[in-house]
A and B are shown apart, each in its own frame.
Chain A
Amino acid sequence: KQEVTQIPAALSVPEGENLVLNCSFTDSAIYNLQWFRQDPGKGLTSLLLIQSSQREQTSGRLNASLDKSSGRSTLYIAASQPGDSATYLCAVSNDMRFGAGTRLTVKP
């Protein structure tokens, strides 16, 4: 059974810092890994999808990497801004198992 873990559970940084969020999974037989953002009381916004054959994906200040063999993915956020404050979730497919998320706070 796939287990997805996200570390840290919460992170608080000053504005402008670069930061890394971690996601690990136990079963490397995945189709893809998806990173989402969830604002309080809102739905999920898809940030990046990394296919199983890819190593990384970039969108603006976001960069996500995937190492299937070690069961890890990282989400790198450059030059963080207060508007980045949200909960970040990773999910692995086949069966879309979610991690519990990392709650990020970027202080002005």
Chain B
Amino acid sequence: NAGVMQNPRHLVRRRGQEARLRCSPMKGHSHVYWYRQLPEEGLKFMVYLQKENIIDESGMPKERFSAEFPKEGPSILRIQQVVRGDSAAYFCASSRESGSPNNEQFFGPGTRLTVL
């Protein structure tokens, strides 16, 4: 049973380009969470999705960032017109359920985005 998969593991973009980060949850998990970790800082929640629905995007910047989790395929975190401040590690986590004491999240290895 493969864990949470993220790709690419490393992504380099120039300012103004688009970055697309992909996350495949663990088998049987229908809840996906995205987090951002800036250098020397803790993890910050960005967005929580279920299949075809955004449940909580309170941590997502209002502009340039979007996320989706289609019925088929991985979840995508999209950053348009990247700026140097977007350079960070982006982690995806998945869980089988949500809103319960059994909600254990499992993390992917992360995508390290570098904006030149």
Contact = CB atoms under 8 A, between A and B. Distances in A.
Interface of A: 31-32, 34, 36, 41-46, 49, 51-53, 89, 91, 93-101
Given A42-B110, A52-B101, 11 more contacts: A31-B99, A32-B104, A43-B109, A43-B110, A46-B105, A46-B106, A49-B104, A94-B99, A96-B105, A98-B42, A101-B42
Contacts, number: 57
A6 B44 CA distance: 15
Interface string B76-96: 000000000000000101000
B45 interface: yes
A53 B101 contact: yes
Interface residues of B, number: 23
13 contacts: A31-B101, A32-B102, A32-B104, A34-B105, A42-B109, A43-B110, A46-B106, A46-B107, A91-B43, A93-B103, A95-B56, A96-B105, A98-B44
